Amino acid sequence: MTKLFRALDDPTRRRILELLRERELTVGEIGRHFVMSLPSISYHLDLLRQADLVVSEKRGQFVHYTLNTSVLDETMAWLTGLMATGRRPTYETQRHPKKRVAATGPARRPLSSPRSAVG
């Protein structure tokens, strides 16, 4: 999952995924949407492939890239499950409950207003 989030961290790679959402493309077709060299596009595609976000298939002299949505489906299911569990104490607050209190800060008394002090 680390490779997935690293791949999604870059705006160029996110844009490539958006392009592949429409249809499969070759490196050259993807490169037309960017102001960068084809080797740079290939580098981004390789990182996306390592994260299993794209699938490549060589046909003749061209490599065609397709979006692999199964990894995204699995990640969304995991994130949804994580959100559905609600707020449970973390490992750190279970072991050190005082840290939780310290994070919220001490209770403060309200300051008296100038009128009530004069009166």
Each residue of 9-40: pLDDT tens digit? 999 999 999 999 999 999 999 999 999 999 99
Each residue of 38-92: pLDDT tens digit? 999 999 999 999 999 999 999 999 999 999 989 888 888 988 988 887 666 666 6
**Distance (Å) of CA 116 to CA 109, 110, 111:** 15, 13, 10
Confidence of residue 116 (pLDDT cuts 50, 70, 90): very low
Burial zone of 53 (CB within 10 Å; 0-12 exposed, 13-18 middle, 19+ buried): buried
**Distance (Å) of CA 87 to CA 16, 50, 92, 102:** 35, 33, 14, 19
Helix/strand/coil for 85: coil
Tell if the pTM clears 0.75, that is, is over it.
no
Helix/strand/coil for 64: strand
